[in-house]
Amino acid sequence: MKKALSTFLALCMLLSLLPSAALAAEDRGLTQTEAEAAVAALNAKAGSDFYYELVDNYADSEIEYRTEVRWWMAEGGHTDQTLEEEVQAMYDAGFRGVELCQLNESSLDAGVYGYGSEQWNHDFHVVLNKALDLGMTVGITSGTNWNTTNVPGLDPDDQAAMQGVFATSELVESGASISGPAPREVLVPGSFGAPDTMQPVRDVNTFIGAYAFKVIGPDTQMALGEEVEMTRLDSASCINLTDKVTVDGEGKECLDWTAPDDGDYYVFFYWQQGTAQQSSPAVEPSYCVNYFDIRGFEAFQEYFSANVLNDPELNEKIKNGDVQLFMDSLEISRGNCVTYWTEDFADEFMARKGYDIRPYLFMNIGLPAESELARWSPLPAEFGTFCVETDDLGTKIFNDLRDVQTQLYMENLLEPMEEWLDEYNISLRAQISYGRYFEISEPTMAVDYPEAENLNQRNQVDIYRLWTGGAKLENKILSSETGALGGMGYSYDHQLHLQEAYALYAAGFSRINWHVWTSSWSPESITQSWPGFQSLPFGPGFNPNFNVLGTREPEYATYWEFNQHLGRIQQLLREGVSRTDVGMLYQKYDQHIAAQCLEEDDMWMQRHDYMLFPSTELQENGYTYDYFSPAFLEDDAVSYNAETGTLEQAGYKALVLWQNWLTVEGAQDVLDLAKQGMKIVVVDGAAVETPYDDGREDELAQIMTQLKSLKNVAVAASADDVMEALESLGVEPYAGFAEENLQLLTQVRQDGDDMYMYVYNYCDGSLHDGDDPDHGTNAKVDVVMDGTFLPYQIDAWTGEVTQLAQYRYEDGKTIVTVDLDYGNVALYAFEAVDSEDVHVVSADQSDALFTSTDGSVILRATESGTYTATLNDGTAYTNTLAVAAPYDITGWDLTVEAWSASDEKLTRTDTYTDSKGNTSVEYTYDTVKTETTVHLDKMTTWDKIPEIGQGASGTGHYTAKFNWDGQADGAYLDFGSLVNSMKVYINGKQTADLNMNQPVLDITEYLVPGVNTIEIDYYSNLANELLETGVLTEGATSWAGYDIAYRSYGPAQAVIIPYAQVDISEEVSLYFTDVGKDSPYVDAVATLTQNGVIKGVGQTQFRPDAAITVAELATFLGRMAGVTVDNSTSVDGLIADGWSAGYVAWAREQGFVADGQMQYAALSAEQVNAALSAFCTARGVEAVTAKSASRGDVVVALGAL
């Protein structure tokens, strides 16, 4: 508890002065008037404009920054009432938007409720209208279900439908002959235990060609950890037999041919045919469009225009709203084909690569299923049944093929889709590349919003970096489908969801789309049980497949706080542009991902192991980096900034070449950047060949020789030497670590000259091996920011902004101490400054807290002792504090409302009927809510209370009274550990939002001397109830830490931790650099200070030329009028900042400032003088006028009163 509280206190300091500090200033050589002026100038400031902006921006998370949710719907089978209720529930829970996904339900008639039906179209429009009316975002899947872009009624043999290459082979021994029809069937492996089957070429097909290759011999390769046999063929022996192929009377291709007598030959036959990939549900078969032929896009465009974007009134809403077309993970299928194709593919390939790809299509026979790419493998490219003479040549041919496919995918589907959707103001969001043989990062360039998913990246930051590079270079918001681990139905809690989000943010993602929301109401034909409908249901002996978000969960009541918290983080991660230290060039066409890693040892991030770049040294020293294809260097959005020496818009200070291959064009681009000044590190063995069969290695070598000769290019012997090479070039992190650290991950953003930083403590040490230090769960790290800044911390749970005052400057850098427990995050903002303010540089006890209340500098501590703080001028201040011991709140009354299944069936019938008389009827089961009341001597979790037990799920209402003697200066309330969350009320007032990871609250402002009351409303998930009733089965999942197990609901303790504090303001004296004895503002400032009008600042500069804000002017006027206000309570949307809220509300009531003027908005001279005139009139005195709206001129005008 002590360590958690110490971290919660997070050593910080706000420096500000009371008028009494004027005496100390006089002792240092200032006159009384000068001292008063200096103090008053500070107090008039009360914070910088940057501070006000932070307070305004982060007090509440605006809807545009919050997380979104995917809704799995029962086709078009929901009632309008359900549709509107669910959208409203999402909105009320704080979700920014909803992604619609209507799944296949076998018991529903797809002809009535499937994709393209009247019912489907109606439901879609109801949801779209409701969500847009609420200002939410809406994601529309690009077809039925989610897996492909598909069109009902599309002819699978048409060129607009997906096409592939059907391939067969025949072995011909040396000198032997073959005659007759070519083989037209292939053995297709069965899936999910089904037997293998022989499948023929489709009736509608186009013969591509026949080719023979001489057999070199058998060979083996390692594929996914297993040794696999293959046959090597001599690429130089190719014989084109296409012209020898004839067609018999049955339309079958025939070949009469005798093999040369120099060895055995394989003959390969290729046909183009439709893959016939079909998606359900739909009113008629809905086939996947051709992703590589423009006609595929055109078929989708035609269908979508006629059936979805067919309501002019709704289209206008769409244009004024925020709608995305969403393309889920690439789940296109080759069917029984070996690769994808178009009728002009051979010509396109020849034009782009300069050779004929058709002879080499045999290399695709027997390739591992594309689904195998979901299994992590660091090995080079796998091959199929056949390969050419060397792996290197085979890889180059594969890369050529997949490069052309990637280009056509972008040019013929993504890019025209994006351009067309822009006419409707619809954005294109897509999960790009992974799981298929495409280049892993390049399609980011062709979409508005790229997306990944933590299911396939396994919460691993290094693999997330495959997406972040391209997104940062183009400054695109990067999102992730999150929370979709199968088998975890009802077993996620808030804490587990938070850790998933935090890992994504640590790589640079800034948008979460939660998987998955489902209504508890089900169409009547679907069999369901309590607690309600779930798409992709589970069978006997299996846990519910995917987690369900929705109103069925007791925890729904805390979704708002959950979304507020994550919204603040996402907002920070969208400030300005990324400032990432290093760009890693990386081009890969068969990228394996980590979805199917089954062992705990495969948690690379927690084991401090690498996945891609073979070193973690950069990460452990604070360097951030991403991966991206060299093709991005050709993109118009990417440029070099010679002034900053960075590659924009990612802010890379250096590029690292570490892959063995690099395109000639990429090498030339890197050379051009280096000649402009870009710093480059080349790892030995990097960029020694091109990825393609283009014979351009000599060109590449010449470029690399030029590159390495430049002074701003360093060569590293290995990946572990890259950091040293970067340092030799003067490349240091934007936010580095003073010492190596194995716990923190950061992301940095820049807006103008100001910086923002996200920090995540990701490691508890549980997976360390013997070589890693035992660092515990807390991280206390000096973070070195590149530049001179005034630091602030933003509380991601409450939005409170605190100006830090414990930091130091060294060599033009700002060093702040981050003190963070495992699983927690911290947000920082850094205001660029030109001069150094007085601040604390060290303190002798880490449990001390320096903070500010009503303009006073106070030292706060939770333990008795002597505390010393040293300022940057070398002055040390020592104080001894006596602190009362912590104590438990006792005598709790707890009422648990346990949720369980009811036999009562509820039904509802839709008000909408389609043209054929079809309507929707739904049902669900009611929830029984059983109350149990117990008395607790001390707070403890439900599983330790016999009357409640471990099997209960639901809500808990706690009440107690406790005594506060008022002797201490304040107190924290520590709840220990917590599952999910709760809301706390003290003396009838709700406290700030609770940190769900570290539930400690400062309750000082809610306390009264004597007896206090406390109430707690706690909300669980349904896991324990479903385990108790056998719906869930205890056990581990395939991911470490994702267990189906009973949770300990409720707070573990309730301990009051008093703190003592002492005002040290009198001991601090400061000079003010911009208000001297000759300043025109000195006398007025001194007068207002003596009268108590100006107080409570925190910096050494008054900044008299800065524009005064509504908050400042209202506060000055209120103090001059002598009114009593409550600044700690939010009124009319004002921020309860402790110094201005009540005054602004009063000034609005008096008509001195307009209702529409924002609290921290800067005023114009006209607005200032209008306020002064109204104020003077109300007081019956002669009006005064300020020469301008500057702080100095307003103070002079007020001084005249």
**What is 695-742 written as a DSSP string?**
--HHHHHHHHHHHHTSTTEEEESSGGGHHHHHHHTT---TEEESS--S
CB 1083 within 8 A of CB 1199: yes
pLDDT band at 344 (very low <50, low <70, confident <90, very high): very high
Average pLDDT over residues 900-919: 97
Whether the per-residue pLDDT at 925 is higher than 50: the answer is yes
User: 694-733: per-residue pLDDT in tens?
Assistant: 999 999 999 999 999 999 999 999 999 999 999 999 999 9
User: 847-874: per-residue pLDDT in tens?
Assistant: 655 544 344 456 778 999 988 888 777 7
Between 162 and 1060, whose confidence is greater?
A: 162
pLDDT band at 1076 (very low <50, low <70, confident <90, very high): low
Q: Which pLDDT score, from 0 to 100, does residue 607 have? A: 86
Alpha-carbon span 636 to 634, nearest angstrom: 7
Whether the per-residue pLDDT at 101 is higher than 70: the answer is yes
Cis peptide before 200 (omega within 30 of 0): no
Q: Are strands 137-141 and 97-102 parallel, antiparallel or unpaired?
A: parallel
Q: Which pLDDT score, from 0 to 100, does residue 849 have? A: 54
Helix and strand element counts for the chain (H, E): 27, 58
Residue whose C-alpha is closest to residue 399's, from 447, 444, 363: 363
Stated as kind and residue range, the H or E segment containing 452 is strand 449-453
Q: Which pLDDT score, from 0 to 100, does residue 82 have? A: 98
**Mean pLDDT of all residues in the chain?**
90
Q: Which pLDDT score, from 0 to 100, does residue 940 have? A: 98
CB 952 within 8 A of CB 1029: no
User: 491-513: per-residue pLDDT in tens?
Assistant: 999 999 999 999 999 999 999 99
User: 670-694: per-residue pLDDT in tens?
Assistant: 999 999 999 999 999 999 999 999 9
Q: Which pLDDT score, from 0 to 100, does residue 79 have? A: 98
Q: Which pLDDT score, from 0 to 100, does residue 27 have? A: 28
CB 1098 within 8 A of CB 15: yes
CB 815 within 8 A of CB 784: yes
Stated as kind and residue range, the H or E segment containing 905 is strand 890-909
User: 250-279: per-residue pLDDT in tens?
Assistant: 999 999 999 999 999 999 999 999 999 999
Stated as kind and residue range, the H or E segment containing 1142 is helix 1141-1150
Whether the per-residue pLDDT at 465 is higher than 70: the answer is yes
Whether the per-residue pLDDT at 357 is higher than 80: the answer is yes
Which residue's entry shows tokens 């086939």?
Answer: 287
Q: How far is CA 356 from CA 191, 215, 399, in A?
A: 34, 21, 14
User: 623-665: per-residue pLDDT in tens?
Assistant: 999 999 999 999 999 999 999 999 999 999 999 999 999 999 9
Alpha-carbon span 404 to 1065, nearest angstrom: 69
Share of the chain above pLDDT 70, in %: 90
pLDDT band at 1129 (very low <50, low <70, confident <90, very high): confident
Q: Which pLDDT score, from 0 to 100, does residue 379 have? A: 62
Q: Which pLDDT score, from 0 to 100, does residue 754 have? A: 98
pLDDT band at 466 (very low <50, low <70, confident <90, very high): very high
Residue 487 Ramachandran class (φ > 0 left, ψ -120 to 50 alpha, else beta): left
Q: Which pLDDT score, from 0 to 100, does residue 378 have? A: 67
Residue ranges of alpha helices (H) inside 93-180 are 110-113, 118-133
CB 1044 within 8 A of CB 1027: yes
User: 975-991: per-residue pLDDT in tens?
Assistant: 999 999 999 999 999 99
User: 143-175: per-residue pLDDT in tens?
Assistant: 998 889 999 999 999 999 999 999 999 999 999
CB 66 within 8 A of CB 94: yes
Between 1128 and 531, whose confidence is greater?
A: 531
Average pLDDT over residues 378-393: 86
The whole-angstrom distance between residue 59's C-alpha and the CA centroid of its chain comes to 20
Alpha-carbon span 767 to 610, nearest angstrom: 14
Cis peptide before 531 (omega within 30 of 0): yes
User: 187-202: per-residue pLDDT in tens?
Assistant: 988 766 788 899 999 9
CB 862 within 8 A of CB 887: no
Whether the per-residue pLDDT at 599 is higher than 70: the answer is no
Residue whose C-alpha is closest to residue 828's, from 568, 582, 500: 568
Q: Among 250-264, 455-469, 1070-1084, which is the least confidently predicted range? A: 1070-1084
Alpha-carbon span 81 to 997, nearest angstrom: 36
Share of the chain above pLDDT 90, in %: 74
pLDDT band at 1077 (very low <50, low <70, confident <90, very high): low
Between 8 and 967, whose confidence is greater?
A: 967
pLDDT band at 540 (very low <50, low <70, confident <90, very high): very low
Between 595 and 546, whose confidence is greater?
A: 546
Secondary structure of the chain: what % helix, strand, coil (to 5)?
25, 30, 45
pLDDT band at 1029 (very low <50, low <70, confident <90, very high): very high
Q: What are the chain's domains?
A: 63-154+279-328+448-525+547-577 (3.20.20.80), 163-274+335-397 (no CATH), 581-731 (3.40.50), 890-1053 (2.60.120), 1105-1199 (no CATH)
Whether the per-residue pLDDT at 1174 is higher than 60: the answer is yes
